[in-house]
Amino acid sequence: MSSDEKSPAVLFIHAHPDDECILTGATLAKASHLGLATIVVYGTKGDAGETSAELGDQTLGQRRVGEAMAACADLGVARVEWLPYADSGMAGTDTTDNPEAFSNADPSIVADSVAELVAAEHIVAVVGYDDNGTYGHPDHVQVHRVANEVAKALNAPWVLDATYNREHLASLPGGDGTLDPVFAAAEADLTHFVAGEKWLKAKITAVSNHLSQVPDDWDADNPDLEGFRERFGTEWFIARSPNGATDLGPLNDLLTPKALWTERVAEEFDSSASIT
Ligand SMILES: [Zn+2]
């Protein structure tokens, strides 16, 4: 079968386990529901992350791979691939200097290996992060570079930068209204979003697999689901075409233009959903 005959596929490049849920869980669930094949490629196993979980015989990376595989299964992901790089950790830490770290790899070499992995697929979009990796983590910035290189290598018609809406986040209760210019993306730069209760519920179910990453201040008995919905209920994208495409094609049903967004566009939140 030639790649043109296969179902349209969306390729998601992620830095670490749990990024697939936090940044694109609703989008993965919706894409799968629409019959788009979804492929997730991780740069690292998240082995430099923090955890307060009891790991037993496992390394943190092993634990997080298991959590990610379960989350991807919940989200209907068709295929998961793992690149052999180490987690770079936060900027300024020792792990960032590791020559094997994802952020220290040549993005075009990483992209060539990703392109080879998916050569038989019919990729209609490559999803990465905005140019600051949404918050500056070296591996997330690398995802931005790699996604662009992969799209070029595959001649994919669309690159989608997953990100947050800076103005919306700054306006949330508990925020001080300050716009951090290196965090997320300006609303003016956003082009499309994915929102909706059904996809949010799928996201919450999937993120519940990432038990090693539950924040210490998360109250499992009384979860702040409304706060989660406000922060993560809408998934934002900056769509651009490296080869001049103007029609989103199979992505038209997946992505909604920014102009249609209102803060309550995600239907009334159903608090029967649960996060562990
Ligand atoms: Zn990450």
Tokens 């992060």 identify what position?
129
pLDDT of residue 114: 98
Domain with 153, as residue range(s), is 3-260
Structural Rg of the chain based on CA atoms: 18
CATH code, 111: 3.40.50.10320
For residue 135, how far is its CA from the centre of ligand 1 (angstroms)?
A: 10
Task: Compute the distance between CA of residue 239 and CA of residue 159 in angstroms, rounded to an integer.
Answer: 6
| Residue 98 within a domain | yes
For residue 260, how far is its CA from the centre of ligand 1 (angstroms)?
A: 29
For residue 13, how far is its CA from the centre of ligand 1 (angstroms)?
A: 11
Task: Compute the distance between CA of residue 36 and CA of residue 10 in angstroms, rounded to an integer.
Answer: 7
Contact status, residue 15 vs residue 137, Cβ threshold 8 Å: yes
- What average pLDDT does range 188-206 have in this prediction? 95
Examine the pLDDT at 70 and tell me if it is beyond 90.
yes
pLDDT of residue 64: 97
Q: What angle do CA 214, 217, 218 make, to 5 degrees?
A: 50
Strand runs (DSSP E) across the chain, as ranges?
8-14, 37-44, 79-85, 122-129, 159-163, 192-194, 235-240, 256-257
| Residue 83 within a domain | yes
Kindly tell me the sign of the dihedral angle through the C-alpha atoms of 238, 256, 77, 153: negative
For residue 17, how far is its CA from the centre of ligand 1 (angstroms)?
A: 7
For residue 65, how far is its CA from the centre of ligand 1 (angstroms)?
A: 13
Confidence class for position 223, pLDDT limits 50, 70, 90 = confident
Report the percentage of the chain scoring pLDDT > 70.
Answer: 92
| Residue 159 within a domain | yes
| Residue 199 within a domain | yes
Return the SS3 of 244. coil
| Residue 251 within a domain | yes
Q: What is the dihedral of CA 110, 112, 118, 123, to 10 degrees?
A: 100
Examine the pLDDT at 167 and tell me if it is beyond 60.
yes
Q: Express each pLDDT in 75-109 by its tens digit.
A: 999 999 999 999 999 888 888 999 999 999 999 99
Q: Please tell me the least confidently modeled range out of 49-53, 75-79, 113-117, 178-182.
A: 178-182
Contact status, residue 226 vs residue 197, Cβ threshold 8 Å: no
Q: Express each pLDDT in 168-181 by its tens digit.
A: 888 887 766 677 77
Q: Express each pLDDT in 198-216 by its tens digit.
A: 999 999 999 999 999 988 8
pLDDT of residue 190: 97
For residue 140, how far is its CA from the centre of ligand 1 (angstroms)?
A: 6
| Residue 273 within a domain | no
Closest CA to 102 of 67, 127, 139: 139
| Residue 275 within a domain | no
Say how many domains are in the chain.
Answer: 1
For residue 84, how far is its CA from the centre of ligand 1 (angstroms)?
A: 16
For residue 42, how far is its CA from the centre of ligand 1 (angstroms)?
A: 10
| Residue 36 within a domain | yes
